[in-house]
Amino acid sequence: MSMKTEFYLRVACGLVCLATATAGLAQTVPGSMLYNPTINLSAGTQNGYVGTVGGIFHTTYSYWPDVNYLGYYDKDGDGLANSHVVSLWDGSTIIAQATIPAGTSAPLINGYRWAPLASTVGLSYGHWYIIGAQTDGVDTWGDLITKPDNQVNWSPQYLELSAGWEWTRAGRYDGAETWPNPPANQTSASDSIYPVANMGFNVEVVPEPASVALFGAGLAVYLAVRRRKH
């Protein structure tokens, strides 16, 4: 093999591996969720509001967050009575949406039933978003939870958690008649959320096929170069 051919093969290998590394650095850590309740939501007051319920939040300046799952709270972990649409808004525009089916077919993780998005949605850093679920008064959830009361842990993958930023997340709700607009009514409690809707990235911690394939391609090119060299 000529030196010129070997040079081009090495460049191709490097570019593929660099693409893999760049994609990995840009992605949110698998298993991340917007928040995790630290209390037993099924044991406290249950909210049976009918409408669109969730919260508003401001993303961190440290990551470009990714989302590919949306979730709905399952009070007793025994399945949902009805299906529920969960949405993510950027302003008044829905940028991600999934239907969590009735029953137990959707995976149950950390108290939530999860449904995958058709593709991963990338969020901007330092930006406002609203998450909300269509509620029916049947599949109830624990009422508003707040960080000052140690009822919720937020993910640093999604939220700016530095001191002084507590006001950037709050519960939101609105009547069913306002759908598909985002919930506009906001609770006065900062650092809070109505824990019915949730979102996450690879909440089942399953490797993305595209990333695995790209890594495999880089490895194959590298091995080919080594084999030809020797």
Question: CATH number, domain at 187?
Answer: 2.60.120
pLDDT digits (tens, 9 = 90+) for 206-216: 554 444 444 44
The average pLDDT across 61-66 equals 91
Shared domain for 49 and 144, answered yes or no, is: yes
CB 70 within 8 A of CB 96: yes
When divided into structural domains, the chain yields a total of 2
For residue 100, the one-letter residue type is I
Task: Tell me the C-alpha distance between 150 and 50, whole Å.
Answer: 27
Domain check: are 182 and 127 in the same one?
yes
On the question of pLDDT at 112 being above 60, the answer is yes
Specify whether 196 is located in the same domain as 215: no
Q: Is the pLDDT of residue 8 over 80?
A: no
In a domain, 129, yes or no: yes
Tell me the CB-side half-sphere exposure of residue 17, using CA atoms within 13 A: 12
If one counts every other C-beta atom within 10 angstroms of the C-beta of residue 187, the result is: 16
Same-domain status, 133 and 217: no
* N- to C-terminal Cα separation, the chain: 10
CA–CA dist 26, 13 (Å, integer):
20
What is the domain range of residue 218?
Answer: 3-24+210-229
150 found inside a domain: yes
> Which pair of tokens denotes residue 70?
């949306």
- Given pLDDT bands bounded at 50, 70 and 90, which one contains residue 20? very low
CA–CA dist 228, 230 (Å, integer)? 5
Whole-number pLDDT of residue 126? 94
- In this prediction, residue 75 has a pLDDT band, given cuts at 50, 70 and 90, of very high
Asked if the model's pLDDT at residue 12 lies above 50, the reply is: no
Q: Name the pairing type of β-strands 50-58 and 128-136.
A: antiparallel
Same domain, 16 and 43: no
What SS3 state is found at 194? coil
Name residues whose C-beta falls within 8 Å of residue 100's C-beta, 6 or more positions apart in sequence: 70, 71, 72, 80, 83, 84, 85, 86, 106, 113, 114, 115, 133
Per-position DSSP letters for 99-148, written without gaps between them: EEPSBT-S-EETTEEEEEEEEEEEPPTT-EEEEEEEEESSS-EE--EETT
Q: Are residues 129 and 100 in the same domain?
A: yes
Q: Is the pLDDT of residue 61 over 80?
A: yes
Q: Which residue has the higher pLDDT, 169 or 227?
A: 169
